[in-house]
Structure 1
């Protein structure tokens, strides 16, 4: 989402970031139609196609420009979802999207129609796995009665644990949980306890926030965004951090955390 796509040096830097991520072992990259109206998908295809066998590009649909205002709005009508999948296939240069996520549930369209359309697209071979984003545990349960759900992408981080019930449901069912905004926009470093743990581990607060997520559950797969290679490398280094039980307990019980 953070990668500039306009022609020029910034785009070249974006291409380099994407390629470096794969070189460093990243096996999942998250994008969406909303990220530039497909421009981010095209950028990733330019950078990485043909994709390595181990790399999964996941994209999201269900948000569209309003014909009246030109603003982004939720749109989960079956015809719109089908059109967005077809366009994503072309932009990503693939015959099948390995993981397709519904960006948001459109309250103006029955959930069964939205998830049912994704199920039909899966049965037609255009989608391999289906995911949801920003859902409640109840919505996840409803969707799972219609089709198998492979992933959930909700806002979740060390300082924002509103969706603990959703993560717990994913953990119980073996569903991948992809927290977006996983480092709280870098705000975790303002907490003294986080800064203290970072100092103990000779790490950055961002790395501590990511390590906490990775330690939270085996189904958690953080998707931190960046437009710089140094930030990318900092984020990936968090995988090598090991929190002690005492450090984990201190982070679990941060003052003011939910």
Structure 2
């Protein structure tokens, strides 16, 4: 890829499952206390993308680049396999299976690229995989990112990908927290101001708490499952700052 290419999470797909019902629920996640807030424009809901994609509901990040074709060549050269191509809301997306069997997408980066740290939007995303080192190295090579390896007690052995100094995604060693039989999966984190209050509000709306509010080296977080069992996270603006500081401190 060219030296001027940029990489960022452009969209997050909710793929398969009860996509219409999930859309309604996550509109409420994004709503929070602001009566004027609407659904997160970064999140797209896709009923199905073919037989090789999850049918029961899963999150898939779409990495955007202003040199999309070069990025596609690069992710394939490092071992990804094309799974499906689709058009959602007029946007062309291609889905790939990484060497650890986790799914991800590639799309064009919006121009000009919006930068938002608004409450009620997806702030970050983590990959939970039993092959954390392999996966982190793959994405670092394929996306032209750096890997920062953090030995932290929570959420487990943790790596995160940084483009320049900008955090892109995290990689969690799933074997620290989940059985090996669980397939690789992504968990997006919505940005909220009051974790305890949001966990209580979303629990009243049918979510189930999987990890209560927990402190970590990268800020407090909580994990919940939506009414259909798909896991998502919450974090505060403190994590935006801490992730950026970690990216800068490891240059």
Q: TM-score w.r.t. structure 2 length?
A: 0.35
Structure (1/2) with the larger strand percentage: 2
Instruction: Return the index of the structure with the highest Cα Rg.
Output: 1
Q: TM-score w.r.t. structure 1 length?
A: 0.34
Q: Which has the higher contact order (CA 8 A, sep 6+)?
A: 2
